[in-house]
Structure formats: structure tokens, C-alpha cells
Structure 1
Amino acid sequence: MSKTLIMVANASAARVFNYLPREDFSLLNEFSHQQARQKGGDLVSDRLGHSEAKGGGHGVFVPASNPKDNEAERFAHELADWLENERTHNRCAQVMLVAEPRFLGLLNKALNRQTAKLVYQSVNKDYSKVPQRELPEMLDLRIG
């Protein structure tokens, strides 16, 4: 049987499980991204910049991106890089991704073409807090 990796993630944490149908569902790795749990203002080092507008008015420069979104993208890339490493070392044959819709989109976007081909199923649910023993039934996996 080919080994399947099941990644259950959100923007701040991920768990990866080994899955062999009718044999095994075990925790392989856990990831934590504490920056995603911080307030947006705590993620930037400086206060907003000021600028002078035409006519003598003053304004505040607002960055084009949200710091929390940037952290979620960083974490998605970290997870995608880890999956790529598993793929290149032939440690998995297929991948199931389980994440809330917004983060699942970031994760899919971060995967390179070869790793994306291993994704056989994506589940748009945040099961990151679901206990391990309940996941196989929720994901309709056959164990033992």
C-alpha cells in the first residue's frame, strides 16, 4: 500500500498524519506558527508612516497588505516546502489537505506543480482542533 499524508491545518497550526488504509493513522509531525495568533499591530515593527498631501494636508500611509495575511502566507509556504521535501524523498504517494477555505487556498497556491499533483483530495473544513481519534471517521477513512 502507498503511504498517504493527511495535513490538517489552519493559519496558526498544522498536524500531519500517516495513513495506510486498513492499517494506520498516526501523527507524523506538528507545526505551530505563533505569529498568526498575534494581533496585527504586534506583527509590524513601526507605527504607520505619515505623508504630506498636496495642499498642505497630512495623511497616514497604510500598508497594502494585512500583517496577519502575510503570516498566513508564510506559514502556507513553510508547510508547502515541508510537503515538497517529503515528495522529493519519496516518503508519500498522495496527500489529503484539510483546512478552512481561506487557508486551503493559500496552501494550494504555495504548492509547486509536482507536489500539487499528489493532492488527491481537499477538504474545506477547519478540523485543526478535532482530536486525532475522531479524524478518521470525520474524513471517512478506513482504519483497521
Structure 2
Amino acid sequence: MADALWILVANASRAKLFATDERAERWDLREEFQHEESRMPSRELMGQFDNPNAGTLHKPQPENEPDARHQLEHERFARELAQRLERGLNDHAYDRLVIAAPPEFLGRLRKMISRRVHQRLMLDMRADYVNVPERELPERIPLS
């Protein structure tokens, strides 16, 4: 698609990926993502000890700190989304990118995306629009 634009609307547990062209008249939902672990209560997360990436030699195990385990899951989801954006760029699926996410998660995403993806980023917004009806998103996210 010539001059294709992707719009990622995300928070720490859900995301929607839209595609449009330079006129942005119609947004097509390409993919939806869910990261259930980010939504789990701390007591349930703390019971999951089979995580090979939990903790390091220099830091306490996240299983022992409820908030730290949630942060780990948020990072995992940000990494998953960043990898999807990288694949899309490798497949020439988009030329420009817009991301809307709450400030903390937007910061995580920005750290995870590659330099190549970052160069395609034309706008990032600090807002959680995941639950906004799709028909209202074009009004909230300015593309021109």
C-alpha cells in the first residue's frame, strides 16, 4: 500500500492496530492484541513461578514483589507489540506510524521499538484510547 499509515492504540494489557492510507478516510482494524497477565491480580501473578525470565542475580525475584511482576508483564507486552511493528516494517506494510498509549506504557513502547521503527513514527500521543469506539478514533487522533 503506497504511503500506508499504521495506528497503534494500546495500553498495558490491550492493543488495536489499524491501517489507513494518506487520506485516512477509512481505518481498517488489522489486529487486536491482549495480554491477560497484565490484568491478573497480583496474588495470581505471584503464584506463577515458571517464568524463566523472572529476576536476575542482581535484583529480587519479581514473584516476591507484586508490583515488579506487573511491570515485567507490561514490558513483555510492549516487546510483543514492538516486534509486531518491526515485522510490519520488514514486510513494507506501512511507511508511517502513529502510537497512542498512556504515558507509562508509551515510554515502555518507545524503549522497545527499533531505531528503524522509531524513524517512521510521525506522532505519539499520551492517551488510552483502547476502549474508545473505533468510529470515534479518527476524531481523537489527528493525522494531518
**For this structure pair, what is the TM-score category when the shorter chain's length is used for normalisation?**
0.7 to 0.9
Partner of 2:99: 97
Give the CA deviation at 1:116: 1.1
How many angstroms apart in 2 are the aligned matches of 1:65 and 1:130?
27
Judging changes above 3 Å, is the alpha-carbon distance between structure 1 residues 36 and 129 closer, same or farther for their aligned structure 2 residues? same
Q: Is the 8 A contact 2:9 2:100 kept in 1?
A: yes
Q: Is the 8 A contact 1:3 1:18 kept in 2?
A: yes
Partner of 1:138: 140
Task: State percent identity of aligned pairs.
Answer: 33
The structure 1 segments of at least 4 consecutive aligned residues displaced by more than 6 Å after TM superposition are none
Give the CA deviation at 1:41: 2.3
Within the candidate set 125, 128, 133, 1:126 is matched to 128
Within the candidate set 71, 75, 78, 2:77 is matched to 75
The answer to which structure has the higher strand fraction is: 1
Greater Cα radius of gyration, structure 1 or 2: 1
> TM-score if structure 1 supplies the norm length?
0.82
Partner of 1:2: 3
Q: Is the 8 A contact 1:40 1:66 kept in 2?
A: no
Report the 3-state secondary structure (helix = DSSP H, G, I; strand = E; otherwise coil) of the residue aligned with 1:24: coil
Give the CA deviation at 1:89: 0.8
Q: Is the 8 A contact 2:8 2:16 kept in 1?
A: yes
Q: Letter of the 1:128 partner, please give it.
A: V
Give the CA deviation at 1:63: 4.5
Partner of 2:19: 18
Partner of 1:29: 31
Partner of 2:114: 112
Give the CA deviation at 1:140: 2.6
Give the CA deviation at 1:134: 0.2
Q: Letter of the 1:110 partner, please give it.
A: M
Any stretches of 5+ residues in structure 2 without a counterpart? 50-62
Report the 3-state secondary structure (helix = DSSP H, G, I; strand = E; otherwise coil) of the residue aligned with 1:29: strand
Give the CA deviation at 1:46: 6.6
Give the CA deviation at 1:87: 0.3
